[in-house]
Amino acid sequence: MNWTQQTEAARTWFETLRDRICAEFEAIEHEAGSDARFDYLPWQRHEEGNPDPGGGTRGLMKGKVFEKVGVNVSTVRGSFEAEFAKTMNGVDPDDPRFTATGISLVAHMANPHVPAVHMNTRFLVTGKAWFGGGADLNPPIPYKEDTEDFHARFRAACAAHNPTYYERFSKWADDYFYIPHRGVHRGVGGIFYDHLECADEESFARNFAFTRDVGEAFLDIFPKLVRRRMESAFTPEDKQTQLEWRGRYAEFNLVYDRGTLFGLKTGGNIDAILMSLPPEAVWS
C-alpha cells in the first residue's frame, strides 16, 4: 500500500511532540531564573538524482538547567547504499528506496544529580513499514526513586497496549544500551523497540497509538524528575563523576548507536546527528 498519508500523520505528530517538549523544557529554565530558549536550524538533505530528499530541523538549547539539550525532527526520502541496505529491515535489494520520519532527543544536564535522558520515536518505510523508538534514563548519580518512577511510567504506557510489551522492551533496552568494551550499561534502562510492523491501516493505527503514548509518557515523567533534582547541591566530586560518565555515553553513541550510523549513512545533518554528544566530558 501507499504509505504517504501515514508518513505525513507520523511527521505531524513528531513535530507536535517536539513543540510541546521544547515548551516544557523552556518553562523549566524559566522557573530556574533563566531566559534560555531553543534555537532552531532547518537543514536540507542532498542526494544525487533525488529531487525531493527531505530534511529536518535541529532544535538546540543551552541553559542553566539543561546544559545542552537537542530535539531534532526530520523526514527524509531516498535510497540506501547497497551494503547498508542489507542491514535494514525489509529492504528489497532491487528497490532500496526508503522514507523515514522521526524525533530524536538527548538532554545533558548541568546538575549531576539530574539524570540525562534519551528519547526517540520513528516511522520507516522500506519494503515494509514499521515503528521503533523508546526512551532511557542516564543518571551519572542514580537515585532508586527516579529509576522506579521512570520505569513505572513506561510500564503503564506499555500495559495499555500489550501485556508483554514492557518486559520485552525493557530487556531490549538493557541489551541494547550496553557498552561491551566497558562491561557496563549506559544508564538505568527504559524501553527500546523496533520493527513494530505495519502491514495495513489497522496495524499502523495500533502501532502509531503506542508510539504516541511513548512520547506522552516521556513528556509526563522526565520533567518531574528534572524538577525533583535541579536545585540539589553538588560537590566537585559529583561533577567529576558526571564528566567521566559522559565519556562512557559518548563512547556508546559513537561506536554502537544504530541511530548515529543511520544518520551518517543516509546523508543526514552532521551537527544534528552528533548533537547527542555531551558538551564536556573527561577520560581519566
Q: Alpha-carbon distance 117 to 105, whole Å? A: 8
**37 φ, ψ (degrees, to nearest 5):** -140, 160
Active site residue 118: yes
Of the residues 108, 113, 118, 185, only one is catalytic, namely 118
Residue at grid coordinates 559518548: 250
Q: Alpha-carbon distance 31 to 231, whole Å? A: 11
Q: Which one-letter DSSP state was computed for residue 53?
A: -
Chain CA centroid to CA 61, Å = 16
Q: For the chain, how long is the longest CA-to-CA vector?
A: 58
Torsion from C-alpha of 174, 81, 40, 37, nearest 10 degrees = 20
- List Cβ neighbours of 206 (8 Å cut-off, separation of 6 or more): 161
Task: State the alpha helices, DSSP H only, in the chain.
Answer: 4-31, 82-85, 144-159, 165-176, 201-229, 236-255, 258-265, 270-273
105 in Cβ contact with 21 (< 8 Å): yes
Q: Alpha-carbon distance 255 to 232, whole Å? A: 33
Q: Which amino acid is at 259?
A: G
- List Cβ neighbours of 39 (8 Å cut-off, separation of 6 or more): 59, 60, 61
Q: Which amino acid is at 159?
A: A
The catalytic site residues sit at 118
